[in-house]
Structure 1
Amino acid sequence: MNFNSIALQAPQFLLPNQNIDLCRWTVIACDQYTSEPEYWETVNQYVGEHPSTLHITLPEIYLDKAAEMTPRIQDRMEQYLREEVLQPWGPGWILLQRQLKCGRKRHGLLVALDLEQYNFSPTSTSLIRPTEGTIAHRLPPRMDIRRQAPLEVSHIMVLIDDPRNTVIEPLCHNQRTPLYDFDLMLDSGRVSAFGVNDRLEMQSVADALARLTHRDSQGSALLYAVGDGNHSLATAKALWEEVKNSTHDLESIQEHPARFAMVELVNLHDTSLVFEAIHRVLFGVDPHHLLKAMETYFGRKNIDAHFINQDFPQDISEKSMAMLASSSPQCHRIPVIWQNSSGIIEITPPDTKLATASLQNFLDDYLERELNIDLDYVHGAEAVATIGSRPGNMGFFLPPIDKQSFFPSILQDGPFPRKTFSMGESHEKRFYLECRRIR
């Protein structure tokens, strides 16, 4: 069942059969714990040779072994299909409820989206758009796996802007028999799922979704923003273009399974969804030289950028820094700290919606010339204060994203600068579970 005008499909899913240990089957997104090999060693030991999505995905911590692991991943997918480890369910959608460790509940709707209506370029005007820039060299290893794979599993989370809770939340009010309900491995909470396949109910969801479409002054439409898994969806798009260009049967292209990608829709305004700021720290920098360069950079754009000395509170926190970084369309304020100094950089009037974009655009320009300076992305204001105040370092505190400005920012400025926000902690990310045929 397709809803072509909003790029939405009700696919047939493949779910583990009733004999599969779901706790071992279901594994965290591949792009998590990339600096913690001990996490993945624990997962490997726990899963062993049991059927698991661990065996059909490539954790990014092992990306240097991609050429060796890719054939094994594809063979294991074929094995699971041959041995009927996976059973079909659908067509329809899957309503998800994730119980997080903190006690919050996140709801999502597992669907398939039409890749014909997705473009991951920085100037994209498609219905489905990225939220961060796509790094081209990160795609080939993912493409090598997907190119010959019979299945897809997905950790992609796509955001919809639904402040009145009209799409996903009404589905939660009906009594449904769970498709599965179990605790996730390594104390990562619990997940429950329920089928949605009533035609009238699905039409109601599609109608509510269509009403959420944003349009800019040129008339381009935006309905879906990729929150997690930008590079995974870009991989699916790149492979679909390969398939399409090698297929001359126009009728088969219309319903080819590789044309669609499985994603979890999540309401941007779900109360469990917390956007955390990602701050910046420079290493090996002369702060006074940087501030002078910043004045020159913004001056070329007829923008005033100046530094105001200000003592920060002794007990620096996310809340206190967010208050200092309170910005407006007329002025971006960026708290900054270095050895024995602190203050606010004010940029007036900014030429972007986000303070993060103002800072990152400057840093990209500055670091192209200052090759001996290193940049790192840091979570937590306390960590920025500690690291940024060491000799030779400089820390920049950025505000969390305002949910009200999220979609308008993408419409005006395109994808956010890299590392603008984080959607919760690692253990709160989507786990691999459901599969779908793509060949």
Structure 2
Amino acid sequence: MPPTTTASARRAPGPLGAALRSRWLLALGFVAVHVWVVHQAIRWGNTIYGDVTLYEWWARHGLTTGQWPVLDYDWVYPVGALVPVTLPALVSGGLLGYEIVWTAMVVVLDAVATVVLVRAAPRGVLGAWWWLAFLVALGPIFVGRLDGVVAPLILIALVIASRRPALAAAVATAGAWIKIAPGAVVVALAATRARWRDLWRQVVVPGAVVSAVVVGLALAGGAGQRAFSVFGQQEARTLQAESVFATWFSVARLWDPSVTIEYNDVIYTYEVQGQAAQHVAELLDVLLPVAVLLLAALTWWTAHRRPDHAGDILLLSTAALLLSLIVFNKVGSPQFVAWVGPPLAAAIALAGPGTRRMWAPPAVGALLAALGTQIVYPVAYGEFLAGEPGMITVEGLRNLTLVVLLAGAVWRIVQLGRDGVREPVRADPAA
């Protein structure tokens, strides 16, 4: 028998590696993680399912009176959100039944996304394990908000983007009509198209078709200008207590009693009060779209200089765009962090051999940001609102982590686009 070579020994997975590659074990892990997440959601009750209670009211009210959000009055969500909000009401009775069906819908969507991820590449199982770890770190908020619907759609779109970009654009556009975040995938796809023909055929046409269907149905239902009312609703909001740019105000509460947080009973959030906070919120209304435009331009520049890294640039750009939608957002809801997981999970599965290691630090950072989010909400949200120093510190570190992740993604896009940056494609023993 020939002696085992060093390369062969490195290629042979150990017991842990073999276990992590087992799809059966992954299936068991998926069930265990989601049982735990759902159990925690039930344990926290209305703290997690408070928004779902609103979803149920909107759906039941529409079904019984014919008065629907967007179609008949302004709403805080895009019109496409009516689909996931209404579906559970069609097959359930009462609030409890709605919550059960809602939770099952989120879990099924996540199962579909996980299967798509696993089948994407040999490293898909590893990416799926990281995704499950991310969900454990983030906690039960994942199943209690619309973000539990759109995060799997973001993951699916990113996984299929290299093989079926038109379908990815359609999925992401549909997700953006539920909640804006999946639009980051559409922007990244558009910015990474090498030719105008590809841009038109793979992004513009599928996105326009989906949007035309959604807006057309809304207009047929009598929405009128309310089809776009979500943008006006967001402009009326001020600086949310958990948002990244509210960090200074939270820290200032430790020594300045004039900095206060009050409950907005119209949109059900806690907001920083005062003229300074209002000015910051107004500034963010400008900074957010500017950041998105600058990132799109940077992505286009890098993609045209480095077509050999098109897949990595798409993932980096999506991550940067999603992080910018959190960092420069005056709304800082904890469930937004769910958007950060999909590009990292997809990158772990799909990144090229020469760039796989660059995703390890942000993967750890995203887990820490998710864990910090869960600690603050739901575990110690009362302490955070009360100005308890420990929770203010955790929230501040969580927000700092998000800023570092954004800066790291931008820096890496710039690095890839600079002259002379040519990373050798090395054989990866784990491939």
Indicate the TM-score class for this superposition, using the shorter chain for normalisation.
Answer: under 0.3
Q: Which has the higher helix share?
A: 2
Q: Which has the higher strand share?
A: 1
Q: Which one has the largest radius of gyration?
A: 1
TM-score (structure 1 length as normaliser): 0.25
TM-score (structure 2 length as normaliser): 0.25
